[in-house]
Amino acid sequence: MIGLAVVLGAFAGADVSRRERALRTTIGPSTTVVVAARPLPAGEPLTIDRLTVRTVPRRYAPRDVASDPRLLVGLRPRVAVAAGHDVGPSVLDDGAGAVLRAGERIADIVAIGDAALVRPGVRVDVLVTRDRGERAGGTRLALEDAEVVGVSAAPGDGGDTTGMRIAVALRVTVRQAVYLAAAQNFATELRVLPRSPDDDARGATGLAASDALEGVR
């Protein structure tokens, strides 16, 4: 009886494996799609914690669906999206322009940064380095926690945003826009530093170091 049970169990296991192979062959390979981890209000920028992925057969996946939630961070749903619903271009703003609130401006700068990390929706700090010739120069933290609304190739870089220089559009106040315009014209270098999504600490604006590496403690 025990031997018979072992034989029957082997047959059953083989049958299950055969059925699984047949099912995989019928359905085909799988893929991941981005879905809403929670309800997404219309017009609010997407953050990574609002998105998740699920695995579906590739043949059933929507053609315009995204597979990497990081590529959607900062985009805005045109309509409210229910939890679990696919998130793709069909429900997202086309990025034609940032929605400005009262008192805000968009400042365009060319800075050193990594376009793989500095993306729309990410928040950054801005460092400004000045070379004063015979006088001492230095680097200053000029702006904290600024929202990136656009990233593109720096002028003259041939459309490549994988290098060090990128063109960045920032959501700022009028005063900050004036300062950044002056820095772009007269400073030696601007650098953007991406912040962690959960890092909202402020208070370091004005932190500086001279070209002798003095001033920061």
What's the CATH code of the domain at 66?
Answer: 3.90.1210.10
Instruction: For residues 115 and 92, state if they share a domain.
Output: no
Report yes or no on 5 lying in a domain: no
The per-residue pLDDT for range 176-212, each reduced to its tens digit, is: 999 999 998 888 899 999 998 877 777 777 777 777 6
Question: Which is higher by pLDDT, 33 or 135?
Answer: 33
Report yes or no on 215 lying in a domain: no
> The pTM is what?
0.52
Q: How far apart are CA 210 and CA 138, in angstroms?
A: 4
Instruction: For residues 135 and 110, state if they share a domain.
Output: yes
Give pLDDT, residue 161.
45
Q: Tell me whether strands 165-173 and 104-112 are parallel, antiparallel or unpaired.
A: antiparallel
Report yes or no on 183 lying in a domain: yes
The per-residue pLDDT for range 98-131, each reduced to its tens digit, is: 666 778 888 899 999 988 888 888 899 999 998 7
Instruction: For residues 133 and 112, state if they share a domain.
Output: yes
Report yes or no on 15 lying in a domain: no
- What domain range includes position 43? 29-96
DSSP-assigned letter for residue 154: P
